[in-house]
Structures are given as C-alpha cells and as structure tokens.
Amino acid sequence: MSSGSSSIPHHIAIVMDGNGRWATRRFLPRLAGHKQGVEALKRCARDCVQRGVSVLTVFAFSSENWNRPAEEVSGLMDLLARALSREVPQLQKDGVRLHFVGEKTSLSEKVRAGLAQAEAVTAHNTRLVLNVCFNYGGRWDIAQAASALAARGEPITEASLHTAMGLAHVPDPDLVIRTGGEMRISNFLLWQCAYSELYFSDRLWPDFDGGALDQAIAAYGARERRFGKTSEQLLATPTTSACA
C-alpha cells in the first residue's frame, strides 16, 4: 500500500467507454451496447458499496456526444428516462444517493423532471454517492463555475472555483478509470482529476466486472501519492487523507 493513501479509494470516477464497440462486435445496434452499459453500471455501483468506496462518478453522456447520429442520441435519452423510472427504487433501497452533473437546459422537460425526482427520492441515502455526468464536459464545468462567480461579483480563485464546480459536494476523485482501451481523459473532470491516479483498462465497459474493478483498485493501492511532496517527506509526516 502506498504511503500517501488508503488501499481503497474514497472516490472512483469512470469513463465508461466501449458500449458501441461491444455491440458492433456482436452485430447488434449500438443502443444494445448502451443498454448493457446500464447493467454494468448497476453491477459497478454494488461492487463499490461492497468494497467500501464512498463516491462513484461516471461519464454517461458528454457535451460532445450530441454530434453522434441522431438515432443514437434519441435512443440514449429514452434509455435514460426508462432507467430512471426502473432503477431508482432499487437504488433507493440500496442506499445510493444520485446526483446528476451537467448542463440541463438543453435536455427535454421530461428528462429534467426525471433527474430532479431521482435526486429528491435518494437525497437522504448515505451508502454511496453516485454522480452521473450527463451532458457534461470538463471545460463547461470550469466555465460555468467562473460565470456563476462573476455573476455574483465574487473573486475567482482556486478555492472559489472549486466550490462552484458541479462536484463541489464530494472530494476530488482518487482514482479515474477509463475502459475500452483508449488512453485519454476526453474532457472529463479536468479540474477535479489534477491529482487523481489514472488507470486504463482494455475491457469494454459492458464487460467491466468486479474482477476488473479489483485490478484497478489493486493498481491504485500499489501507487505512492505524493501531491507534490517527496517520498521522504511522506514517510516523515504520514497522512491519512486520500485526497488533496
């Protein structure tokens, strides 16, 4: 285990990549891959609870995904609406608190109402905070935070920007996982992942299971998180904090 962190990350963030490729390899419509991606997310949330992870943040739909074929975008919106009505009761029972982070004005009134209701129903749950980044981009998050501060006439500093971000209610992620074999951030949590450990998995998201999660957590636990300090400083002044 590293000197600067617990072996279990407090906050895991995931770029859930590979749904479309998973479907294409099986000669299925891309939307079938997204449906399996929802099932993978349900498994992952349960696995995180079992392993003692407190916060799970997932990249469900980026602001750039509007550029995908109209049929796929429409299907994703319908899938979100159905998933909310079908899965929220179980999430409530499992003690999962939902937060939806992203630009909501471009979403339909039906979708916005569903998001708000899901957040309200699960607001008092404490076992796991599940942040779903939907119509989200890291650059958008920084820009909207700066705009909000400017509108209120508040100075724009690192501390004030942090409090205006979409994930101000949770600590920064300790571990960022990207599935699907790609090795980039893709405009995800650009501010929040400044000191996150990065882990890239070749698994397509629908195939990402508890074993794959354990591999990512094991890799995280083997790393030394220095936050700008030297190894000698960490040994001389141990810290129990998993985030900076």
What is the set of active-site residues?
17, 65
CA dist., res. 186 & res. 139, Å (int): 10
Q: How many of the other CB atoms lie within 10 Å of CB of 186?
A: 14
With beta carbons less than 8 A apart as the criterion, state whether 92 and 166 touch. Answer: no
Find the largest Cα–Cα distance for the chain: 57
Whole-angstrom Cα distance, residue 1 to residue 106? 44
Contact 31, 79 (CB under 8 A): yes
Phi, psi of 37 (to 5 degrees): -65, -35
Residue with tokens 């699907």: 180
Q: What type of residue is 77?
A: M
Distance of alpha carbon 94 from alpha carbon 80, whole angstroms: 19
Nearest to 57 by CA among 240, 243, 226: 243
* Nearest residue to 8 via CA among 197, 152, 201, 203: 197
Kindly give the pairing relationship between strand 175-178 and strand 128-136: unpaired
